[in-house]
Amino acid sequence: MGRLKELLDSNRQWAQRMSREDPTFFSSLVAQQAPRYLWIGCSDSRVPSTQIVDLPPGEIFVHRNVANVVVHADLNCLAAIQYAVDVLKVEHIIVVGHYGCGGVQATLNGLRVGLADNWLRHVGDVMAKHDTLLDATVQERRLDVLCELNVIEQVVNVCQTTIVRDAWDRQQPVCVHGWIYALTDGCVRELGMEIDSFDRLAESYQSALQAIGQRAAGENVCLPPKADEIVLTPPATSCCGGRHD
Ligand code: CO
């Protein structure tokens, strides 16, 4: 075990390449951080925020944890949200789950992984809340469905924070989104939650939940792709890419 030479070498090459392509790249980043997006995602190494939406450093403020959970009293996540909203004034908060999430899978299968079981208990709460829907879902789709449910529940938790509610109360524009990423094709799907005021939360949640239920039941319910400015890498063919066919 020595120095991580391969990573350090790679870093030097990257820094030189970036400077070559844009001589002002680092100096402009030093001067200011002005991201428009807060990304709340899973720690999974296969879901790197800026790379997935093809943005350079400086564009996304990021908080990641196991299974992209937003816990009401998690000071770490709350601090990230508070700094992003109050100081950086991000316009969008995106909760990004992903299909095939190991944390969600461990919860679904009742696997013990250690201390993380206590953290994943929050995903267990999502599972218990939606046990009727999950019981009615065929076995092979249950993980996908729980991954989607986990995203929309965490979106609700973001919207319930005093930080976001206070921002809305003072008319600060903040929109909270629920996305899910597919490791299989690299595409993000929207889950039908784009919430820009507390009044819209209940209705948006219900319609997203209904769409998940319909897809779980095998109906071909595609969420219509939107010409939304923040969907930077829309799926090339359809919103489902054949997933829900
Ligand atoms: Co994950």
Is residue 69 within 8 Å of residue 152, measured between CB atoms?
no
Q: Is 175 a catalytic residue?
A: no
- As a whole number, mean pLDDT of residues 76-104 equals 98
Q: Is 239 a catalytic residue?
A: no
Delimit the domains of the chain by residue range.
32-229
Active-site residue among 63, 77, 92, 101? 101
pLDDT at residue 198 greater than cutoff 60: yes
Those residues whose beta carbon sits under 5 angstroms from the ion ligand 1 are 42, 44, 101
Rounded CA-CA distance 224/206 in Å is 17
Phi, psi of 228 (to 5 degrees): -80, 135
Active-site residue among 63, 98, 122, 244? 98
Dist. CA 224 → ligand 1 center (Å): 25
Phi, psi of 143 (to 5 degrees): -65, -45
Q: Is 46 a catalytic residue?
A: yes
Reported pTM? 0.88
Q: Is 131 a catalytic residue?
A: no
**Mean pLDDT for the chain overall:** 90
Q: Is 44 a catalytic residue?
A: yes
Dist. CA 99 → ligand 1 center (Å): 8
pLDDT at 220: 60
> What is the SS3 assignment for 201?
helix
What is the H or E stretch that residue 36 is in?
A: none
Q: Is 218 left (phi over 0), alpha (psi -120 to 50) or beta?
A: left
pLDDT at residue 244 greater than cutoff 50: no
What is the per-residue pLDDT across 115-157, written as a single tens digit (0 to 9) for each? 999 999 999 999 999 999 999 999 999 999 999 999 999 999 9
Query: Any idea which fold 32-229 has?
Result: Beta-carbonic Anhydrase; Chain A (3.40.1050)
Question: Helix (H) and strand (E) counts for the chain?
Answer: 10, 5
Going by pLDDT thresholds of 50, 70 and 90, the confidence category of residue 240 is very low
